[in-house]
Every structure is written in C-alpha cells, then in structure tokens.
Structure 1
Amino acid sequence: MSSNQNSPRDIQAEGALKAWGFLIVLALIWGSSFILIKRGLEIFSPGEVGAFRIVTAGMVLLPLSLPRLKTLNRRQVQNLIIVGLVGSFIPAFLFAKAQTQLSSSLTGVFNAMTPLFVVVIGALFFSARITKRNTVGLIIAFMGVALLLIVKEDSIFGTFADINSYAFFVLLACACYGVNLNIIKYRFVELKPVAITAISLLMVLPAASIYLFAFTDFSFKLTQVEGAVEAASYITLLGVVGTALALILFNVMVKVATPVFASSVTYFIPIVAILWGLLDGEVLLIGHYFGIVAVILGVWIGNKK
C-alpha cells in the first residue's frame, strides 16, 4: 500500500469523525431553534412566526421541490400535503404559540418526546410493534413531563392545578411529528427524505404565504415597527438553517453513519436549548432538573434498539 493511500482504519475513523461533526452541528442548529422562536415572538405574533418560518423554508427549497413535481402521482401528492401539514405547517404554529407562555429551554426538553410519539402513533395507527422497552421508556418520560408541568417557584413540585397548559401545544406538535414520520416510513418508500420534505413544504407554502400577507400585520410590522427586521432575520434563520439546511445535513449524516446514530441527536437538542435559555436569563428550578433527567432517560430507554 502506498503512503498516500488511506488504510481501512483511517477511512473508518474519518467517517466516524464526519458523523460526529454532523451530529454536533445538527444539535446546535435544532437546539437553537427555540431561542430563535423566542426572538421572533418579541415583535411578531405566534401565527406570523409560524407562517414566516414555513415561507422561508419553502422558498429556499424551491430548487429541490419544483423539478420533482412532474414525477408525482395523485396519491403521492395527497400524502405530501398531509406530510406538509403535520410535519411542518401545524408544528410551526404550535411551537410559536407554546413559547408565548413557556420558556425556550423547557420547550426544547418537551420536544425530545418526538421519538416516543413516533412509537405510539406507529402502534396505534400503523400496526407497528411496541416493545416492553418502549413501554418503560414512555412511562419514565411521561413522568418527567408531568414533573415539568407542575414545578412551582415556592416548592420543588406543585399540584396538577398548577399545570402550564401551553406545554400541551408542544406535545401536540410532537404527536404531529409522530404521524408525519410514520407516514413517511410506511407510504413513501419510493421517495428520498430530502425530496419528501422539500415538496411537502411546497404544498403548504401557498397557504402560509396567503395567511401571512393577507390575514396578519406582518408586512406592516416589518416596515413600521422598530426591531421588526431583526426579529424577521431570526425567523429567516430558523426557516432556512433550522429547517432547510438541517434537513440536508441530517440526510447526509444518515448516509455516513447509521439511522440509530443519527437519531441520537434527540438527546443533545435539549442540552443546547437549555444552555441558550440559561444564557438568556431563563431560570430552571430543582424540580425542572428532575423532570429533564426523567424525560431524556425515558426517551433513551424507549428509543434504544
């Protein structure tokens, strides 16, 4: 073997390094999504934040979506509309609404429930098998969620009367993601993930655009309200980088690593979200940390192969 050729061990190490690089970048991108939503909400309404996020993501992916439209059949178009709604459109609005009364750090923690919702939705509606490990993970994670919902400032835990109901917007978004990923798994064997996301965003782009520019004050705020341009830039970053670019990076990571390794990004996103929240002055109480550990532990157990 010549000196300028890489050995199999070197190639394997290089692949592992790339995989970890993608994992770290994705965790930083997706973990930062919640602080970007928070910044957008300083000027814009939840509806405006959600719609503009979809518009920016859909527009930047037009070069990938438009050329593929002519290859689709009617059934694929119908399924892609559903994917666009439950995978992007509805969650974008739910997350923005949730963060009007929920910290960005805790929103990031609740978002970690997505893999378990994938399991539950798959078992309920797609004849997927749910294992004992899945069940144990679900119980632990939902106990963590319950703890996070009843934490009070004057005691470690409050009562269910103290529940912050806005957390349910995030859980509903996670359920939407669960439906979305199962539809992709069972109904889109023939389409690649990048194409699915790009075209599904195209399907909901007109609705988001019409709502944003015809039924909200977004355009007025953007031109007349101080700080609106900066807030819009945060949402643009959220749509372009947090949705479009992150999707491409995730699919590249799946190719250079494994799906199991790629799914481990779920455990790092809450950490990044919490760090951003703490840097922004958000306060986490002792009870929050108990709940956070339980959620992440439950997701790890339930998602472990």
Structure 2
Amino acid sequence: MSKPKVYIDGKEGTTGLQIYERLGGREDIELLLIDEDKRKDTEERKKFLNAADLVFLCLPDAAAVEAVSLIENPKTRIIDASTAHRTAEGWVYGFAELLPGQRQRIKFSSRVANPGCHATGFLSTVAPLIELGVLPRDYPLSCYSLTGYSGGGKKMIAEYEAPDRDPLLDSPAPYAIGLCHKHLPEMRQVAGLDFPPNFLPVLGDIYKGMATTVMLQNHLLNGTPNAQDVHDLLAGYYQDQKLVQVTPFGGAGPRLYTSQLAGKDSLEITVSGTQEQTLLTAQFDNLGKGASGAAVQNMNIMMGFEETAGLSL
C-alpha cells in the first residue's frame, strides 16, 4: 500500500514550520515539497494541492479560502490552520476531545478547521461544562489568556527578539482591548453560548506557552456545585484522553506558569477554588495543542494513524 501524500501550503510560516518539524522524520507518509522559488506560483501550488491526499493550509484567511478553491481533486482532504473556516458550514472543528463524537467527525471529514489557540484553552473548560448541563448557555463569561509571542508569527518574533527592542516589551501586554478578538466567533459557536464571552488576551515575553483562565461564580451554575465538584466533572469528562488531562484538585501549588507545557503537544486543566467560586485554567503550548500539534493530531485521526504519532507528550 502506498504512503499517503501530504502537502503543507505555507510551510515557511511559524505554524507550517512546526508541522513540518513533526512530520519531517516520519516514514509513514510522503511529504510533498514544492520548490522554494515556486511556492507563490499559483499554478504550481495547484498541482501540489491536487496531488496530495491531505493538505495543511498554513496561510492567512483570504489565501486559505483561495487555496480551497484551487482544489479540484475530490479525494484531497484539508486541515485549515487559519481562522477562515472555523465556523463555516461543511467544516468539522478539529478538537477531538471536546465533544461526544467529535473524534469520529474528524476521522470521516474531508474538511477540518484547526482551532485557534485561545479558543482551545477557553473551550477545553467551558464546552464540557455546557455539554454536562452545569454551565448555563447564557452565563456572563469572562476569560483572560496569557500567551507567548510566537503566536504572532515571524514579524512579532522578530520584534521581540531584536537586540534593540522596545523596553516596553519586557512587560505583559493586554491586546485586542476592543473585545473583538478573531477567536470569539468559534468560542461562542462551538461552546453553544447565547453571548460571546468578555475575552482579554495578554501577550508575554516568552516564546511559547499559554494559560487560559475562566472564573465562575458557583451560585450561577446549575445545581450550585463547588470547585471540587466542577473538578470531578471535568476529570470524568476527559478520563482516558491522552492529550488532555485534568490535574488533581488542590495539587497545583500557589502558582501556574504560562510556559509550563512549552514544547509539549498536550493540554492540562487545573481546577481550583472554593465553595462559592471556581477557577479554571488550561495550560498548553500555543504552537502545540494550540496550533501545529493539534493539526498533526487531526491528520493522524483522519489518516488512521496512531493519534499521538509524531507528537511530544
């Protein structure tokens, strides 16, 4: 049996390079590589897009939409890492552990939208609690998400790593302060919320890592659970998952570190709090489970490989 052919459109970007690193040494696929001087040649790209069994799109939104239009081979399957198709009809959301049956939907789909990094952290805690009937769909949610600068791509990486960089970059920087971050549509739609959350991302002076936090008032939850109850619900929900784990209640210590899972493709949820309030924090690598690691996991599911093949646990 021939090896499936895989093509990364946009391999030169941060996400594309990280996917390539995870796939470059694998012997169970044939990685198609376009000539460097032709990577922006539409006709040449079209040949590769249609020759592949599976394509990763690591492109800006408009370019990702264009790339999909170039694919005429009905057997070519797509994983889009851009924002373009995350709430689009006909596309499956690529977070296998998130909802019942989601892994099977990914397995049999020809069009999979890779989740956004902030959305991954938010949804990992919020969506299960809604699915379990604990968190009301009209709950007034607030979320903040600490992230490394690599998620901003090559331009932001260069800005942070310049020898003469602005001293202000030493300090954490809230951004998207107009409360209209591009991940909000998927956060609301996939979770099934009546309203989008108040969401504040915060950029830190670390290369990669992410800690996404949601705070809950327990008296507004169905059944009025305490923090321990919420922990136990999430621990049961993610039981036996290889890439999403819930840490023991009360065992996290006084601090959580944004870069704790940097270099890993897994995600850890910490639940803490009291009888009255609950704190939910998802820690992961914004380039791992938040981007390229999730994309490779989705490829593994779609192609019938071991789900964690090529990933760092």
- TM-score, scaled to structure 1: 0.25
- TM-score, scaled to structure 2: 0.25
More strand by share: 2
More helix by share: 1
